[in-house]
Structure 1
Amino acid sequence: MDTADLLERSYPGRRAELKRDIFRQALRLFNEQGIEATTIEMIRAECDTSVGAIYHHFGNKEGLVAALFFTALEDQARLRDAYLAEATTTEEGVQALVYSYVDWVENQPEWARFQYHARYAVTRGPHKDELADRNRTRNQGLRTWLSESGRAAELNECPAELLPSLIVGQADSYCRAWLSGRVQGSPKAYRELLAQATWRSIRRESER
Protein backbone atom coordinates (compact mmCIF):
# COMPACT_ATOMS: atom_id res chain seq x y z
CA MET A 1 0.00 0.00 0.00
CA ASP A 2 1.32 3.47 -0.84
CA THR A 3 0.17 6.98 0.00
CA ALA A 4 -2.03 7.16 -3.09
CA ASP A 5 -3.86 3.98 -2.09
CA LEU A 6 -4.66 5.38 1.35
CA LEU A 7 -5.91 8.67 -0.06
CA GLU A 8 -7.98 7.00 -2.74
CA ARG A 9 -9.60 4.80 -0.08
CA SER A 10 -10.33 7.81 2.09
CA TYR A 11 -11.27 10.33 -0.63
CA PRO A 12 -12.31 8.48 -3.79
CA GLY A 13 -13.45 9.97 -7.06
CA ARG A 14 -12.42 12.71 -9.46
CA ARG A 15 -14.04 15.46 -7.40
CA ALA A 16 -11.55 14.80 -4.59
CA GLU A 17 -8.49 14.87 -6.86
CA LEU A 18 -7.29 18.31 -5.74
CA LYS A 19 -7.82 17.42 -2.10
CA ARG A 20 -5.75 14.27 -2.53
CA ASP A 21 -2.97 16.26 -4.21
CA ILE A 22 -2.91 18.81 -1.39
CA PHE A 23 -2.70 15.96 1.10
CA ARG A 24 0.17 14.26 -0.78
CA GLN A 25 2.28 17.39 -1.00
CA ALA A 26 1.49 18.51 2.55
CA LEU A 27 2.39 15.09 3.94
CA ARG A 28 5.71 15.11 2.11
CA LEU A 29 6.60 18.64 3.17
CA PHE A 30 5.56 18.15 6.79
CA ASN A 31 7.79 15.08 6.99
CA GLU A 32 10.71 16.64 5.13
CA GLN A 33 10.65 20.20 6.51
CA GLY A 34 8.79 19.77 9.77
CA ILE A 35 5.29 20.89 10.63
CA GLU A 36 6.31 24.27 12.05
CA ALA A 37 8.60 25.17 9.14
CA THR A 38 6.13 24.21 6.41
CA THR A 39 3.90 27.04 5.20
CA ILE A 40 0.68 27.06 3.22
CA GLU A 41 2.55 28.91 0.46
CA MET A 42 5.06 26.05 0.20
CA ILE A 43 2.23 23.55 -0.12
CA ARG A 44 0.45 25.75 -2.65
CA ALA A 45 3.55 25.93 -4.84
CA GLU A 46 3.90 22.15 -4.88
CA CYS A 47 0.22 21.62 -5.70
CA ASP A 48 0.05 24.33 -8.39
CA THR A 49 -3.18 25.62 -6.87
CA SER A 50 -4.24 28.74 -4.99
CA VAL A 51 -3.90 29.53 -1.31
CA GLY A 52 -7.64 30.16 -1.37
CA ALA A 53 -8.31 26.61 -2.54
CA ILE A 54 -6.31 25.21 0.38
CA TYR A 55 -8.08 27.45 2.87
CA HIS A 56 -11.41 26.49 1.31
CA HIS A 57 -10.77 22.81 2.02
CA PHE A 58 -9.01 23.07 5.39
CA GLY A 59 -9.46 26.54 6.88
CA ASN A 60 -5.80 27.03 7.84
CA LYS A 61 -2.60 25.06 8.39
CA GLU A 62 -3.82 23.68 11.71
CA GLY A 63 -6.91 22.40 9.91
CA LEU A 64 -4.78 20.72 7.27
CA VAL A 65 -2.56 19.07 9.89
CA ALA A 66 -5.64 17.84 11.74
CA ALA A 67 -7.26 16.55 8.54
CA LEU A 68 -4.12 14.57 7.68
CA PHE A 69 -3.95 13.22 11.22
CA PHE A 70 -7.61 12.17 11.22
CA THR A 71 -7.18 10.52 7.81
CA ALA A 72 -4.28 8.45 9.14
CA LEU A 73 -6.18 7.42 12.27
CA GLU A 74 -9.27 6.38 10.32
CA ASP A 75 -7.27 4.29 7.87
CA GLN A 76 -5.38 2.64 10.72
CA ALA A 77 -8.69 1.88 12.45
CA ARG A 78 -10.13 0.30 9.28
CA LEU A 79 -7.28 -2.19 9.18
CA ARG A 80 -7.54 -2.83 12.94
CA ASP A 81 -11.26 -3.52 12.77
CA ALA A 82 -10.85 -5.82 9.75
CA TYR A 83 -8.25 -7.90 11.60
CA LEU A 84 -10.27 -7.91 14.82
CA ALA A 85 -13.38 -9.11 13.00
CA GLU A 86 -11.51 -12.31 12.08
CA ALA A 87 -10.54 -13.11 15.68
CA THR A 88 -12.53 -15.83 17.44
CA THR A 89 -10.68 -15.92 20.79
CA THR A 90 -9.30 -13.32 23.15
CA GLU A 91 -5.75 -14.33 22.32
CA GLU A 92 -6.46 -14.00 18.60
CA GLY A 93 -7.99 -10.59 19.25
CA VAL A 94 -4.88 -9.39 21.06
CA GLN A 95 -2.80 -10.78 18.21
CA ALA A 96 -5.01 -8.97 15.69
CA LEU A 97 -4.51 -5.65 17.45
CA VAL A 98 -0.74 -6.02 17.46
CA TYR A 99 -0.57 -7.31 13.89
CA SER A 100 -2.77 -4.56 12.50
CA TYR A 101 -0.74 -1.85 14.24
CA VAL A 102 2.57 -3.21 12.97
CA ASP A 103 1.30 -3.90 9.47
CA TRP A 104 -0.20 -0.44 9.07
CA VAL A 105 2.99 1.30 10.15
CA GLU A 106 5.13 -0.74 7.78
CA ASN A 107 2.65 -0.35 4.92
CA GLN A 108 2.28 3.41 5.51
CA PRO A 109 5.61 4.65 6.94
CA GLU A 110 5.22 8.26 5.79
CA TRP A 111 1.75 8.51 7.30
CA ALA A 112 2.93 6.84 10.50
CA ARG A 113 5.92 9.19 10.75
CA PHE A 114 3.65 12.19 10.33
CA GLN A 115 1.16 10.76 12.81
CA TYR A 116 3.81 10.53 15.52
CA HIS A 117 5.08 14.06 14.84
CA ALA A 118 1.63 15.65 14.63
CA ARG A 119 0.02 14.02 17.65
CA TYR A 120 1.09 16.68 20.13
CA ALA A 121 0.02 19.55 17.87
CA VAL A 122 -3.43 18.08 17.28
CA THR A 123 -4.07 17.05 20.89
CA ARG A 124 -3.14 20.56 22.09
CA GLY A 125 -4.53 22.54 19.17
CA PRO A 126 -7.91 23.93 18.11
CA HIS A 127 -9.10 20.54 16.87
CA LYS A 128 -8.54 18.65 20.13
CA ASP A 129 -12.28 18.37 20.86
CA GLU A 130 -12.94 17.00 17.38
CA LEU A 131 -10.16 14.48 17.95
CA ALA A 132 -11.76 13.37 21.22
CA ASP A 133 -15.13 12.94 19.49
CA ARG A 134 -13.59 11.01 16.62
CA ASN A 135 -11.69 8.78 19.04
CA ARG A 136 -14.87 7.88 20.89
CA THR A 137 -16.64 6.98 17.65
CA ARG A 138 -13.70 5.20 16.05
CA ASN A 139 -12.93 3.07 19.09
CA GLN A 140 -16.48 2.02 19.94
CA GLY A 141 -16.01 -1.38 18.30
CA LEU A 142 -12.77 -1.95 20.20
CA ARG A 143 -14.40 -1.03 23.51
CA THR A 144 -17.27 -3.39 22.77
CA TRP A 145 -14.86 -6.22 21.99
CA LEU A 146 -12.86 -5.62 25.19
CA SER A 147 -16.01 -5.61 27.32
CA GLU A 148 -17.63 -8.72 25.83
CA SER A 149 -18.79 -11.33 28.32
CA GLY A 150 -15.97 -13.56 29.53
CA ARG A 151 -13.20 -11.40 28.08
CA ALA A 152 -12.13 -9.93 31.42
CA ALA A 153 -11.84 -13.42 32.92
CA GLU A 154 -8.98 -14.17 30.51
CA LEU A 155 -7.08 -10.96 31.16
CA ASN A 156 -5.20 -9.55 34.11
CA GLU A 157 -7.24 -7.25 36.29
CA CYS A 158 -6.61 -3.76 34.97
CA PRO A 159 -8.75 -0.81 33.87
CA ALA A 160 -10.38 -1.40 30.49
CA GLU A 161 -9.22 2.02 29.31
CA LEU A 162 -5.62 0.93 29.91
CA LEU A 163 -5.81 -2.27 27.86
CA PRO A 164 -5.32 -0.73 24.39
CA SER A 165 -2.10 0.93 25.56
CA LEU A 166 -0.87 -2.30 27.16
CA ILE A 167 -1.64 -4.23 24.00
CA VAL A 168 0.04 -1.95 21.44
CA GLY A 169 2.64 -0.31 23.69
CA GLN A 170 5.55 -2.58 22.81
CA ALA A 171 4.69 -2.55 19.11
CA ASP A 172 4.40 1.22 19.18
CA SER A 173 7.83 1.55 20.80
CA TYR A 174 9.50 -0.69 18.21
CA CYS A 175 7.73 0.97 15.28
CA ARG A 176 8.88 4.40 16.43
CA ALA A 177 12.46 3.14 16.65
CA TRP A 178 12.18 1.64 13.15
CA LEU A 179 10.76 4.83 11.64
CA SER A 180 13.55 6.89 13.17
CA GLY A 181 16.23 4.50 11.90
CA ARG A 182 17.39 3.41 15.34
CA VAL A 183 16.67 -0.22 14.45
CA GLN A 184 16.75 -1.96 11.08
CA GLY A 185 14.63 -5.06 11.47
CA SER A 186 11.23 -4.96 9.78
CA PRO A 187 8.37 -4.54 12.28
CA LYS A 188 6.47 -7.25 10.40
CA ALA A 189 9.36 -9.65 10.99
CA TYR A 190 8.84 -9.28 14.74
CA ARG A 191 5.06 -8.98 14.90
CA GLU A 192 4.56 -12.56 16.15
CA LEU A 193 7.12 -12.06 18.92
CA LEU A 194 5.49 -8.77 19.86
CA ALA A 195 2.04 -10.37 19.95
CA GLN A 196 3.28 -13.28 22.06
CA ALA A 197 4.98 -10.95 24.53
CA THR A 198 1.84 -8.84 24.79
CA TRP A 199 -0.39 -11.85 25.43
CA ARG A 200 1.94 -13.18 28.12
CA SER A 201 1.93 -9.80 29.86
CA ILE A 202 -1.86 -9.32 30.04
CA ARG A 203 -3.40 -12.79 30.30
CA ARG A 204 -4.65 -13.88 33.71
CA GLU A 205 -2.30 -15.95 35.88
CA SER A 206 -4.51 -19.03 35.63
CA GLU A 207 -4.12 -18.87 31.85
CA ARG A 208 -0.32 -19.00 31.99
Structure 2
Amino acid sequence: MSPKQQRGEATADLLLDAALRVYAVTGDNGLTVTAVTAASGVSMGSLYHHFGSIEGLSTALHTRWNSRLLDALLTALLPTRTLHTGVRALVRAYLAFIQEHRDAALFLHSSGTSRDAMRHGRQVHETQEARLAELAGWLGPRVAAGEIAPLPAPLIEALVMGPVVATARRWLSGAGEVDLEEAVRLLPDRICRSLAP
Protein backbone atom coordinates (compact mmCIF):
# COMPACT_ATOMS: atom_id res chain seq x y z
CA MET A 1 0.00 0.00 0.00
CA SER A 2 1.36 3.40 -0.97
CA PRO A 3 1.86 6.18 1.60
CA LYS A 4 -1.04 8.09 -0.01
CA GLN A 5 -3.35 5.07 0.43
CA GLN A 6 -2.20 4.70 4.04
CA ARG A 7 -3.00 8.36 4.71
CA GLY A 8 -6.39 7.90 3.07
CA GLU A 9 -7.19 4.90 5.27
CA ALA A 10 -6.01 6.76 8.37
CA THR A 11 -8.27 9.70 7.47
CA ALA A 12 -11.25 7.39 6.90
CA ASP A 13 -10.58 5.73 10.27
CA LEU A 14 -10.43 9.13 12.01
CA LEU A 15 -13.80 10.03 10.51
CA LEU A 16 -15.38 6.70 11.47
CA ASP A 17 -14.05 6.89 15.03
CA ALA A 18 -15.25 10.48 15.37
CA ALA A 19 -18.67 9.58 13.96
CA LEU A 20 -19.13 6.93 16.64
CA ARG A 21 -18.06 9.36 19.38
CA VAL A 22 -20.47 12.00 18.07
CA TYR A 23 -23.27 9.44 17.85
CA ALA A 24 -22.63 8.27 21.43
CA VAL A 25 -23.11 11.82 22.71
CA THR A 26 -25.82 13.17 20.39
CA GLY A 27 -27.68 10.21 18.87
CA ASP A 28 -29.00 10.00 15.31
CA ASN A 29 -29.93 13.66 14.96
CA GLY A 30 -26.52 14.94 16.04
CA LEU A 31 -24.58 12.90 13.48
CA THR A 32 -23.88 15.72 11.04
CA VAL A 33 -21.02 16.63 8.73
CA THR A 34 -20.19 19.63 10.90
CA ALA A 35 -20.14 17.62 14.13
CA VAL A 36 -18.01 14.82 12.68
CA THR A 37 -15.48 17.12 11.04
CA ALA A 38 -15.18 19.15 14.27
CA ALA A 39 -14.68 15.99 16.34
CA SER A 40 -12.18 14.46 13.94
CA GLY A 41 -10.21 17.52 12.86
CA VAL A 42 -10.67 16.32 9.28
CA SER A 43 -11.92 18.68 6.59
CA MET A 44 -15.42 18.55 5.18
CA GLY A 45 -13.93 17.92 1.74
CA SER A 46 -12.15 14.81 3.04
CA LEU A 47 -15.37 13.46 4.51
CA TYR A 48 -17.12 13.92 1.15
CA HIS A 49 -14.12 12.48 -0.68
CA HIS A 50 -14.07 9.28 1.40
CA PHE A 51 -17.78 8.72 2.04
CA GLY A 52 -19.75 10.94 -0.34
CA SER A 53 -22.17 12.13 2.35
CA ILE A 54 -23.03 11.78 6.01
CA GLU A 55 -25.29 8.89 5.01
CA GLY A 56 -22.32 7.20 3.30
CA LEU A 57 -20.27 7.67 6.47
CA SER A 58 -23.11 6.22 8.54
CA THR A 59 -23.36 3.21 6.21
CA ALA A 60 -19.59 2.66 6.44
CA LEU A 61 -19.77 2.89 10.24
CA HIS A 62 -22.57 0.33 10.25
CA THR A 63 -20.57 -1.97 7.97
CA ARG A 64 -17.47 -1.64 10.17
CA TRP A 65 -19.21 -2.53 13.42
CA ASN A 66 -21.55 -5.11 11.93
CA SER A 67 -18.46 -6.84 10.49
CA ARG A 68 -16.80 -6.81 13.90
CA LEU A 69 -19.95 -8.24 15.48
CA LEU A 70 -20.20 -10.98 12.84
CA ASP A 71 -16.51 -11.79 13.34
CA ALA A 72 -17.09 -12.17 17.08
CA LEU A 73 -20.12 -14.40 16.47
CA LEU A 74 -18.32 -16.61 13.95
CA THR A 75 -15.24 -16.91 16.16
CA ALA A 76 -17.52 -18.20 18.92
CA LEU A 77 -19.70 -20.39 16.68
CA LEU A 78 -17.39 -22.16 14.24
CA PRO A 79 -15.50 -24.35 16.76
CA THR A 80 -18.75 -25.68 18.27
CA ARG A 81 -20.05 -29.11 17.31
CA THR A 82 -23.71 -29.22 18.28
CA LEU A 83 -26.71 -26.99 17.76
CA HIS A 84 -27.01 -26.29 21.47
CA THR A 85 -23.35 -25.40 22.01
CA GLY A 86 -23.43 -23.27 18.86
CA VAL A 87 -26.52 -21.34 19.92
CA ARG A 88 -25.11 -20.88 23.42
CA ALA A 89 -21.86 -19.56 21.92
CA LEU A 90 -23.78 -17.12 19.68
CA VAL A 91 -25.91 -15.81 22.54
CA ARG A 92 -22.90 -15.39 24.83
CA ALA A 93 -20.78 -13.71 22.12
CA TYR A 94 -23.53 -11.30 21.06
CA LEU A 95 -24.35 -10.18 24.59
CA ALA A 96 -20.66 -9.88 25.49
CA PHE A 97 -20.11 -7.73 22.39
CA ILE A 98 -22.84 -5.25 23.33
CA GLN A 99 -21.40 -4.92 26.82
CA GLU A 100 -17.85 -4.43 25.56
CA HIS A 101 -18.78 -2.06 22.71
CA ARG A 102 -21.80 -0.26 24.11
CA ASP A 103 -21.54 2.86 21.89
CA ALA A 104 -21.20 0.76 18.73
CA ALA A 105 -24.04 -1.50 19.89
CA LEU A 106 -26.28 1.51 20.47
CA PHE A 107 -25.46 2.68 16.95
CA LEU A 108 -26.10 -0.75 15.38
CA HIS A 109 -29.42 -1.13 17.20
CA SER A 110 -30.71 2.42 16.64
CA SER A 111 -33.83 2.96 14.59
CA GLY A 112 -32.01 5.39 12.28
CA THR A 113 -29.28 2.85 11.58
CA SER A 114 -31.87 0.15 10.98
CA ARG A 115 -33.63 2.39 8.44
CA ASP A 116 -30.34 3.10 6.66
CA ALA A 117 -29.44 -0.60 6.64
CA MET A 118 -32.82 -1.45 5.13
CA ARG A 119 -32.42 1.26 2.50
CA HIS A 120 -28.97 -0.08 1.59
CA GLY A 121 -29.80 -3.72 2.28
CA ARG A 122 -28.18 -5.19 -0.82
CA GLN A 123 -24.96 -3.22 -0.31
CA VAL A 124 -24.80 -4.21 3.38
CA HIS A 125 -25.50 -7.85 2.52
CA GLU A 126 -22.80 -7.92 -0.16
CA THR A 127 -20.15 -6.63 2.24
CA GLN A 128 -21.07 -9.40 4.70
CA GLU A 129 -21.51 -12.19 2.14
CA ALA A 130 -18.39 -14.21 3.05
CA ARG A 131 -19.22 -14.15 6.76
CA LEU A 132 -22.84 -15.09 6.11
CA ALA A 133 -21.65 -17.98 3.93
CA GLU A 134 -19.61 -19.28 6.89
CA LEU A 135 -22.70 -19.13 9.06
CA ALA A 136 -24.72 -20.98 6.42
CA GLY A 137 -21.90 -23.53 6.20
CA TRP A 138 -22.23 -24.21 9.91
CA LEU A 139 -26.03 -24.45 9.80
CA GLY A 140 -26.34 -26.55 6.62
CA PRO A 141 -25.10 -29.86 8.02
CA ARG A 142 -27.31 -29.48 11.08
CA VAL A 143 -30.35 -28.99 8.87
CA ALA A 144 -29.31 -32.00 6.77
CA ALA A 145 -28.84 -34.09 9.93
CA GLY A 146 -32.34 -33.19 11.16
CA GLU A 147 -31.15 -31.14 14.16
CA ILE A 148 -32.80 -28.04 12.69
CA ALA A 149 -36.14 -27.84 10.88
CA PRO A 150 -35.66 -27.35 7.13
CA LEU A 151 -36.68 -23.70 7.10
CA PRO A 152 -35.48 -20.93 4.80
CA ALA A 153 -32.19 -19.48 6.07
CA PRO A 154 -33.67 -16.04 6.87
CA LEU A 155 -36.26 -17.68 9.14
CA ILE A 156 -33.58 -19.70 10.93
CA GLU A 157 -31.64 -16.48 11.43
CA ALA A 158 -34.77 -14.78 12.81
CA LEU A 159 -35.44 -17.62 15.25
CA VAL A 160 -31.85 -17.64 16.48
CA MET A 161 -31.04 -13.95 16.53
CA GLY A 162 -34.47 -12.40 17.13
CA PRO A 163 -34.57 -13.12 20.88
CA VAL A 164 -30.92 -12.12 21.30
CA VAL A 165 -31.34 -8.82 19.45
CA ALA A 166 -34.52 -8.03 21.41
CA THR A 167 -32.69 -8.74 24.68
CA ALA A 168 -29.76 -6.57 23.57
CA ARG A 169 -32.05 -3.68 22.63
CA ARG A 170 -33.85 -3.83 25.94
CA TRP A 171 -30.56 -3.87 27.87
CA LEU A 172 -29.13 -1.02 25.79
CA SER A 173 -32.25 1.10 26.31
CA GLY A 174 -32.05 0.76 30.07
CA ALA A 175 -35.80 0.09 30.07
CA GLY A 176 -36.50 -2.59 32.61
CA GLU A 177 -34.10 -4.86 34.39
CA VAL A 178 -32.35 -7.22 32.00
CA ASP A 179 -29.87 -9.68 33.45
CA LEU A 180 -27.56 -10.64 30.58
CA GLU A 181 -26.09 -13.60 32.48
CA GLU A 182 -29.59 -14.95 32.97
CA ALA A 183 -30.27 -14.43 29.26
CA VAL A 184 -27.11 -16.40 28.38
CA ARG A 185 -28.34 -19.18 30.66
CA LEU A 186 -31.98 -19.30 29.51
CA LEU A 187 -32.17 -18.23 25.86
CA PRO A 188 -30.18 -21.06 24.19
CA ASP A 189 -32.59 -23.82 25.30
CA ARG A 190 -35.61 -21.80 24.17
CA ILE A 191 -34.01 -20.94 20.83
CA CYS A 192 -33.02 -24.56 20.20
CA ARG A 193 -36.61 -25.67 20.84
CA SER A 194 -37.85 -23.16 18.28
CA LEU A 195 -35.49 -24.69 15.68
CA ALA A 196 -36.48 -28.30 16.33
CA PRO A 197 -37.89 -30.23 13.36
Q: Distance in 2 between matches of 1:101 and 1:149?
A: 21
Structure 1 window deviating more from structure 2 (169-178 vs 98-107): it is 98-107
After superposition, where does 1:106-185 map in structure 2 within 5 Å?
Answer: 106-117=99-110, 118-124=113-119, 127-148=120-141, 151-185=144-178
Whether the 8 Å contact between 1:87 and 1:93 is mirrored in structure 2 is yes
Match of 2:32 among 39, 54, 60: 39
Secondary structure, counterpart of 1:156 in structure 2: coil
Q: Distance in 1 between matches of 2:181 and 2:8?
A: 35
Which residues of structure 2 form unaligned runs of 5+?
1-5
Q: Equivalents in 1 of 2:27, 2:143: separation in Å?
A: 46
TM-score of the two chains, using structure 2 as the length reference:
0.85
**Does residue 88 of structure 1 match 2:94?**
no
- For structure 1, the residue ranges without an aligned partner over 5 or more in a row are 1-12
Distance 1:129 1:156, change over 3 A: closer
- 2:188 maps to 195
Q: Which secondary structure state, in structure 1, belongs to the residue aligned with residue 160 of structure 2?
A: helix
Once superposed, what is the RMSD of the aligned Cα atoms? Answer: 2.2
AA aligned opposite 2:109: Y
Give the letter for the 2:105 counterpart: A
- In structure 2, what residue type is equivalent to 1:159? P
Instruction: Give 1:66 shift.
Output: 0.4
Note closer, same or farther for the CA distance 1:58–1:186 as it changes in structure 2 (3 Å cut): farther
1:87 CA displacement: 0.2
Amino acid at match of 1:25: A
Aligned partner letter, 1:59: G
Correspondence for 1:6: none
> How many positions carry a matched residue from both structures?
190
Greater mean alpha carbon deviation, residues 110-119 or residues 91-100: 91-100
Q: 1:153–1:20: structure 2 CA closer, same or farther, 3 Å change rule?
A: same
Task: Check conservation: 2:167, 2:178, Cα contact below 8 A.
Answer: no
After alignment, is 132-141 or 147-156 more displaced? Answer: 147-156
Contact 1:83 1:96 in 2 (8 A): yes
List per-residue Cα deviations over 1:125-165 (Å, max 9, x = no partner).
xx443113124333001111111166551123533331111
